[in-house]
Amino acid sequence: MRNTVSDIWKLYKSGEKIACVTAYDSTSALLADRAGVDLLLVGDSLGMTVLGHETTVPVSLEDCLRHSAAVVRGSEKALVVADMPFMSYHGSSHEALKNASRFMQESLASSVKIEGGEEVAELVKLMVQGGVPVMGHIGLLPQAVLVKGGYKVRGRSKEDEEQLLKDALALQEAGAFAIVMECVKDDAAQRIVSALDIPIIGIGSGLACDGQVQVMHDVLGLDPRFTPRHARKYLNLAEQIEGAFGQYKDDVKSSSFPSNENWY
């Protein structure tokens, strides 16, 4: 039986850390699921990691729906959270709710995630009332990269720390089942985690968080172009894959592939 928000709360209440990684396709979802990862996030980071965009801004609703469906098909146990992409929850609450329901009904995701704090709390409340489990996302908000002028660590000033705490409390009050907290300075992060009664899943926000989320490509060392400081590379897949492709290419060129067990 697939994890529900209750299973995630059980982990939180027992003090067991929640392990979350992004997934974008059914094969990697299957592997992370078998490894026992609690929660799979179909991040709109797929725009950068999979589709080759420079930011997550060009990612469409259709992109996210298709990849979410693939992750659901590949996994059995993990709770699947689908990121709602840029501007898919800003027009009107009517449109936002309609878009959220497509993740639940077409992709069969178990929940959605939206970026923002106080400003999206009312919308979170409406989604939860409609039966959509919602994960919040505070701190560094990649969808705001163009208005912020870059990716900046949050919680460096006292005012910013207060705002982040207000945002977290507003999301909790609105009924979010958990919150991703991205790139928030460690002391601000600790304060927010202590003040909240729902799991805070950190990325680049220190050890106090109730769980951690990382981008799959960063964990696997799959993208030779970029790895943020907050990631730990458990493999250097980029190097291994490039090596394997090179050997394959050489074998084709030299006619050492295929051999008789490879033909019919």
Ligand X SMILES: CC(C)C(=O)C(=O)O
Query: Which one of ligand MHF, ligand X, Mg ion, none is in contact with 28 (Cβ closer than 5 to 8 A by kind)?
Result: none
Distance CA 28, CA 261 (A): 28
261 as an active site residue: the answer is: no
What one-character-per-residue DSSP string does 4-56 give?
A: -HHHHHHHHHHTPPEEEEE--SHHHHHHHHHTT-SEEEE-TTHHHHTS--SSS
- Using rule CB under 6 A, residue 203 touches ligand X: yes
Q: Is 152 in the site for ligand MHF (CB under 6 A)?
A: yes
Contact by Cβ (8 Å): 190, 199 = no
Contact indicator for 24, 42 with CB cutoff of 8 Å: yes
Nearer to ligand X, 87 or 242 (CB): 87
Is 215 near ligand MHF (CB under 6 A)?
yes
Measure Cα distances from 133 to 106, 125, 248 in Å.
16, 10, 45
In 3D space, the residue among 155, 135, 151 whose CA is nearest the CA of residue 143 turns out to be 151
Q: Is 44 annotated as a binding residue?
A: yes
> Which of 112, 180, 181, 209: binder of ligand X (CB under 6 A)?
180
Q: Given 106, 118, 161, 182, which residue is catalytic? A: 182
> What is the separation of C-alpha 104 from the centre of its chain, rounded to a whole number of angstroms?
16
| Structure tokens belonging to residue 65 | 């729906």
Residue in 71, 102, 218, 221 binding ligand MHF, rule: CB under 6 A = 218
> Is the Cβ of residue 121 or residue 215 nearer to ligand X in the bound state?
215
Binding mask 15-34 for ligand X (x = CB under 6 A): -------x------------
Q: Binding residue per annotation — 115?
A: yes
Helix spans in the chain (H):
5-14, 26-34, 46-49, 61-74, 93-105, 118-129, 145-148, 158-174, 186-195, 216-220, 237-253
Q: How far is the CB of 48 from ligand MHF (least distance, A)?
A: 5
Binds ligand MHF by CB under 6 A, chosen from 7, 151, 163, 233: 151
Residue 228 binding: pick among ligand X, Mg ion, ligand MHF, none (C-beta 5-8 Å cut-off by kind): ligand MHF
Residue with Cβ nearer Mg ion (47 or 191): 47
Q: Is 7 part of any known ligand binding site? A: no
199 touching ligand X, by CB under 6 A: no
Q: Kindly state whether residue 170 participates in binding ligand MHF, applying the rule CB under 6 A.
A: no
The total of other beta-carbon atoms located within 10 Å of residue 23's CB is 30
108 binds ligand MHF (CB under 6 A): no
- Interface residue list for ligand X (CB under 6 A): 22, 41, 43-45, 83, 180, 182, 203, 213, 215
Q: Which residues are annotated as a binding site?
A: 44-45, 83, 113, 115
Enumerate the active-site residues: 182
